């Protein structure tokens, strides 16, 4: 019997308006799921509900990998600061609660995890790092740019190159103090930190850009998702 496709936990978001009417809904940006599916995985939304966040370790035992997606800003109080920047947006307590809980559970279970944009920031905050509440430039808002990766880092290995093009960024924040367990491994040409990894994990990486946005036309971007699914499938096969 062939191995079933790996299940990838994808943190969902609260949507206060839906096409079903005025009822509240949970949502996820479609490109995430498309990229996971192209790679051979099955994306499964984990809705931001307190009971799921408080039992994240049990919930994630049913999955083979994790995709920690983008979204609004992490509440600065989560990293010991007061909200001071006027550009802060989209702060939602239950999103922070779920994402941080899922992140820590994935680390404890050593699940392959791809943390993107806000997801990379959540990874840093969950492990004790801090964020820049605003990086002071719009150069990373709805822009494509290049990223230079450290030779031998996990994203470079997945992509087969240290020079990535078509990295689509949608962020006004960035990492400030890097959490001690993380290692920086990718930068934009302006010096903005764009990639990190957790060396103590089998495969946990963070990218500040959105590879799914250009993955359908940029094979190196899709390769990041391909590696997530490859790792998840290998873990499932060895379980």
Phi, psi (degrees; rounded to nearest 5) at 195: -150, 140
Name the residue among 78, 77, 76, 73 with its Cα closest to residue 92: 73
Q: What is the chain's length?
A: 239
Catalytically active residues are 117, 210, 212
Q: Is the sign of the CA dihedral 205, 208, 213, 219 positive or negative?
A: negative
As given in the structure block, the two tokens for residue 47 are 């809705």
| Helices within the chain (DSSP H only) | 30-38, 50-53, 56-60, 93-109, 118-126, 154-159, 219-238
Contact 41, 8 (CB under 8 A): yes
In the chain, the DSSP E strands lie at 7-11, 13-15, 25-27, 42-46, 65-68, 113-116, 131-132, 141-149, 163-170, 174-175, 183-188, 193-197, 204-207
Angle in degrees, CA 113, 117, 123, rounded to 5: 50
């Amino acid at each position: 019997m062939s191995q079933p496709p790996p299940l990838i936990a994808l943190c969902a978001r609260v949507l206060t308006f839906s096409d079903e009417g005025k009822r509240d809904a949970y949502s996820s940006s479609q490109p995430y799921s498309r990229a996971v599916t192209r790679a051979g995985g099955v994306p499964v939304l984990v809705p931001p509900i307190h009971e799921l966040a408080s039992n994240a370790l049990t919930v994630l035992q049913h999955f083979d990998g994790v995709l920690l997606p983008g979204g609004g800003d992490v509440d600065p109080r989560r990293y010991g600061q007061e909200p001071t920047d006027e550009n802060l947006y989209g702060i939602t307590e239950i999103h922070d609660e779920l994402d941080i809980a899922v992140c820590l559970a994935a680390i404890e279970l050593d699940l392959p995890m791809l943390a993107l944009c806000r997801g990379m920031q959540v990874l840093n905050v969950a492990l004790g790092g801090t964020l820049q509440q605003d990086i002071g430039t719009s150069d990373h808002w709805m822009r494509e740019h290049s990223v230079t990766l450290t030779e031998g880092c996990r994203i470079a290995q997945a992509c087969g190159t240290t020079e990535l093009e078509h990295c689509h960024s949608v962020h006004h924040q960035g990492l400030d103090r890097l959490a001690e367990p993380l290692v920086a491994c990718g930068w934009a040409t302006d010096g903005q930190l764009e990639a990190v990894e957790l060396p103590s994990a089998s495969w946990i990486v963070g990218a500040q850009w959105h590879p799914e946005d250009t993955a359908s036309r940029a094979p190196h971007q899709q390769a990041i998702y391909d590696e997530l699914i490859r790792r998840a499938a290998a873990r499932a096969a060895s379980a």
